[in-house]
Amino acid sequence: MPNRTGTAYALTTFARLEDSADADELERYLQELPRGADSPFHRLTGVHLTRVQLFRTLVHQGPKQTHDDRLRHPHLVFTSVFDGDRDAYLDQLRVKVPECDRWWGDCVGYPGRSDAAAFAAWVRSLQRTTTLFQSPFPTATVGRIRESVAMRERVLDFAVSTQGLDDDALLRRFREDF
C-alpha cells in the first residue's frame, strides 16, 4: 500500500513558497535548526525520520539526463516516517513543534496551528503519495528499534570483554551477564 510499509507511514509534502518569501533566509533557518536531542522532532514519539528542506533546483541525474529540471518556485519539502496514524502524527506536530509556523509560514495558504482541523487539512492537501518507500525495519516500532540497538550494544560490550576466553569461561560469563 502506498505511504505505508509494515507499521511505518511515510508522509511526503511539497509546499510552494510565497513570491514574497526570502528563500535564502528560510534556508539559513532550516540549516541552523538544532539536531539530535535538541531537534524539534525529538519531542515527537514514534518518529523514525523527518526532513524539512528547501527545493530550489533539482539535482542533475548524470550524463544520461539531457534536459535540466528547473523549478519555477522554491518548494518547502517536508518528509517524515513514523509509527501509526497520519492524523495523530499531524496533531503531535501541531502541538509540540511551534517551529512549523516558521518553515511553513512563508508557504502559500498556511493557516497556522491554532485551528487543528485547518492545519491538518492544509498539510494533507500538500501530500503526495510516497511511491518509493523502503524501510529497513518495516514492522518494528521506534521503541522496539531502540530496545534492539541497546541490546546490540550490550552484546557488543560482552563480545569485546570476553574475546579469547575458553568455552567454559565464556558460558559462565554469558550466564552472569544475561
Partner 1 sequence: MLGRPENLPARSVEPATIDLGDIQGNVLRGYTMPAAAYVFLTIVDAPRARALLRRVLPLVQTAELWDATPEHAVNVAFSHEGLRAMGVTEDVLASFPEVFSEGIAPRAERLGDTGTSAPSEWEFSDPHALLTVCAVDTESLESVLAELRAFEAEGAVEFVHIMHTLDRTTGHDHFGFFDGVSQPAIAGAGVRSRRGDGQPDGNGGWREVATGEVLLGYPDEDGRLPEAPAAPFERNGTFVVVRKLAMDVAGFRRFVRDAGYPGGPDKLAAKMVGRWPDGTPLAISPEAPDAAISADPERINDFAYDDDPEGLRCPVGAHVRRSNPRDSKGFFHGRLTNRHRMVRRGRSYGTPLDEDRLDDDGTERGLMFVSFQTDIWRQFETVQALWMNDGDPLGVGADKDFLASGDDDGGKMTIPGHPPFFLKPLPRFVTTRGGAYLFQPSMSALRWLGDLA
Q: Least distance to partner 1 from the beta carbon of 157, Å?
A: 8
Q: Which is nearer to partner 1, 116 or 149 (CB)?
A: 149
Q: Length of the chain, please? A: 178
User: What's the rounded Cα separation, in Å, for the pair 44 and 62?
Assistant: 37
* Grid cell of 14 as nine digits: 511539497
| Residue whose CB is less far from partner 1, 114 or 134 | 134
To partner 1, the closest distance from the beta carbon of 159 in angstroms equals 6
SS3 7: coil
Element (H, E) at 8: strand 8-16
CB-nearer residue toward partner 1: 121 or 169:
169
CA 30 – CA 51 distance, rounded (Å): 10
- Residue 156 C-beta: closest distance to partner 1, Å: 7
CB of 145 to partner 1, least distance (A): 13
Contact 21, 108 (CB under 8 A): no
**Which residues of this chain interact with partner 1, rule CB under 8 A?**
60, 62-63, 156-157, 159-160, 163-164
Nearer residue to partner 1 within complex by CB, 60 or 128? 60
